[in-house]
Amino acid sequence: MVTKKLMLLSSVIAVLGGCGDQTSTSANSATANTSAAASPASDVTRVRGVITAVNTDALTVQTYDGKSVSVPLDAQTKVAWVVKSDLSTLKDGDFVGTATTGPDDALRAVELVIFPEAMRGTGEGHYPWDVPGAVAAAGGGMNGSSAMTNGTVDGQSAMTNGTVDQQSGMTNGTVTGGAGKPGETKLSISYKGGKAQVVVPVGTPIVRFEPTERSVLAKGQKLFAVTPAGASGAKSVAVGKDGLTPPM
């Protein structure tokens, strides 16, 4: 039983590790043309969409822009549930990740992931990201620019206001200062070499990850998958529990 729990925990770590791959999107990439964003060097491919078929060695996925793509599976592919959470569960010291819109001086969250303790410090820094699932699933397109920022949340304040623009990014960090209050919450997130201020609007999708096994994969589930270049199978597959859309 202990061994099984450790294996499931490693699944979550592998899945979340895909959220920290430092790659930029490329509209000219063959994989990008299937809504599976990849770096110009094809370091990694990310797929977001709905599972339409489950086979032993692959998943067929309809991406959010209507294309059908295959996500390969092998013995190393890890699987995790994406489960709904909320700001009331956010406590001092939590490590979080958030995809954002807006320029660097006016970032606004479009989703928030509360990471397990095992992921603390992963991918610290600021680097390119692609269109978050929360945006793509809502019909926001697949070709936006974005970034990933991993760091430590060293404070949060009460209600703020702002305007969303077309850029997007990802900010990860550790929360201090308690859970969010009603209305918009601003998080102050520090990382090596910089700091970000991120506003979390009311209604922002907030999720956590739970370990699971490949046997849960089924037609109709919404998926976020990461496949490294040259790999025989996806590194990780995250599926929304109870119909949830993985927002990352």
Per DSSP, the residues of 70-133 read: EEE--TT-EEEEEEE--GGG--TT-EEEEEEES-TTSEEEEEEEE--GGGTTTT-EEEEE---H
Mean pLDDT of 33-62: 77
Average pLDDT (28-47) is 50
Residue 149: burial class (beta carbons within 10 Å; 0-12, 13-18, 19+): buried
Element (H, E) at 134: helix 133-136
Give the pLDDT band (50/70/90) at residue 216. Answer: very high
pLDDT range class, residue 203, cuts 50, 70, 90: very high
Phi, psi of 15 (to 5 degrees): -60, -45
132 φ, ψ (degrees, to nearest 5): -65, 155
In terms of pLDDT, which residue wins out, 115 or 150?
Answer: 115
Residue 162: pLDDT over 60: no
Question: How confident is the prediction for the chain on average, in pLDDT?
Answer: 76
| Residue 199: per-residue pLDDT | 85
pLDDT the model gives residue 189: 78
Region for 142 from its dihedrals, namely left if φ exceeds 0, alpha if ψ lies in -120 to 50, beta otherwise: alpha
Q: How far apart are CA 22 and CA 147, in angstroms?
A: 9
Amino acid 56: pLDDT = 93
CA gap 111, 108 in Å, rounded: 9
Say what percent of the chain tops pLDDT 90.
Answer: 34
Cα 117 from Cα 103, distance rounded (Å)? 29
Q: Which of 5-9, 71-75, 111-115, 119-123 has the lowest mean pLDDT?
A: 5-9
How far apart, in Å, do the first and last CA atoms of the chain sit? 31
pLDDT for the residue numbered 143: 57
Please indicate whether residue 227 or residue 183 has the higher confidence score (pLDDT): 227
Higher pLDDT, 177 or 147: 147
Tell me which residue of 47, 225, 239, 197 sits closest to 109, measured CA to CA.
197
pLDDT of residue 77: 96
Report the pLDDT averaged over residues 227-233: 95
Q: Considering only 28-32, 90-94, 176-180, which range has the smallest mean pLDDT?
A: 28-32
- Over residues 82-107, the mean pLDDT reads 82
Q: What is the pLDDT of residue 129?
A: 75
pLDDT band at 193 (very low <50, low <70, confident <90, very high): confident
179, two tokens? 């859970």
Which residue type, as a one-letter code, is found at position 145? S
Tens of pLDDT, residue by residue over 56-79, are 999 999 999 999 999 999 999 999
